[in-house]
Amino acid sequence: MNILCCFKLVNDLDLVMEKDWRSATTTAVDLSYAKRLINCYDEAGLETALRLKDEAEKRGESAFISAVTVGDGNYETFFKNLFAVGIDRILQIKTSANPPFAPDRISSLLFEAAKHCAHDVVITGIQSADGTNGLTPYLLAQKLKIPCFAHVTELRYMQSGTLRVTSDTGRGLRHASVNRCALYAVGNSVNPYLRMATLKRKLAVSKMSAELIEQENISNLGDRDVPVSNLSRENKTRSCTFITGESCEEKAKKLLKDFPEVNRA
C-alpha cells in the first residue's frame, strides 16, 4: 500500500501580536517572527498515515508513506523528525510564492508532486491554519479524479487494501468501507498528535533528506483563485454573568430559569 500525505508548515498564529493583526494588508500579516509548526489537521493526517502503516505491517503487508509540502523555507528539522517517526520519503516543492488564499494553485502544485509518487491512499488536513479556505482537498481530489472523504476522524486498515473510514457529518458519524484510491481530508481526528521520535531513530535517519521539486518545472499552476480584496481582524467581545446562590442546587435552578437554552441543549 502506497500512502501519499500532504502537509503544510504554518506560523504559530497564537504568537502574532495585536498590532500586526491591525496592520494587515491585502497581501499578508507580518508573521516573520512567529515560529513554524506543522498545521494541526495535517499533523493528524500524518499520524493517521503512520497508524495505517503500522496496521498493514502487523498483517504482514507492506506500506510506504510519501509526504509532500510546498514552500521555500529550510524545513530540515521538521523533515528529520518525520523520517524518524516512520515517513519513508519527503518531497518539497520549492516556490517563492505560497499565498494562504490560493487553493487552486496549491492543489495544482500538490497534483504535480503526486505524479512523482505511487499512491493508493491520499491524506490531507481539512484546512490550514492560515488560509482556512477548506478547498484544497476537494480541488486536489478533482485533479486526481478520485473520491474525497471530508472531516475524517479515523481511518483503519482492514485487509487487502480495504480501509474503514469514519467521518463527522455534523449530525453524527458516518462509517464506510473503501477499497479504491481516495482522498481523505482529516478533521477532528481521534489521534490528533504526531508520535514522538526516539533518539535512536533520529540518529538512524540523520543522513536522509527531502527531494526538491522546483516550481519552474511545473507549467499548470491553476487560474481559479480569487484575489484577496481586504483583510481585517474580527473583533470579538465576551460578556460574563456570575450566577449566585446559597447552594449548588439553587444555582442550578437559577441557571435553568434564566438561560432556558441550556436545558434544551
Domain that holds residue 209: 2-217
Residue 187 domain-assigned (yes or no): yes
pTM score, whole prediction: 0.83
Q: Which of 32, 46, 109, 36 is nearest to 75 (CA)?
A: 36
Residue 242 domain-assigned (yes or no): no
Residue 246 domain-assigned (yes or no): no
Residue 265 has pLDDT above 60, yes or no: no
pLDDT, one tens digit per residue, over 98-112 is: 667 889 989 999 999
Residue 249 domain-assigned (yes or no): no
**Res. 226 pLDDT band, cuts 50 70 90:** confident
Q: Domain holding 27: CATH number?
A: 3.40.50.620
Residue 40 domain-assigned (yes or no): yes
What secondary structure does DSSP assign to 78-139, as a single string?
Answer: HHHHHHHHT--EEEEEE-S---TT-HHHHHHHHHHHHTTS--SEEEEES--TTT----HHHH
User: What is the distance between the alpha carbons of residues 201 and 84, in angstroms, rounded to a whole number?
Assistant: 5
pLDDT at 28: 64
pLDDT, one tens digit per residue, over 36-72 is: 899 999 999 999 999 999 999 999 999 999 999 998 8
Number of domains in the chain: 1
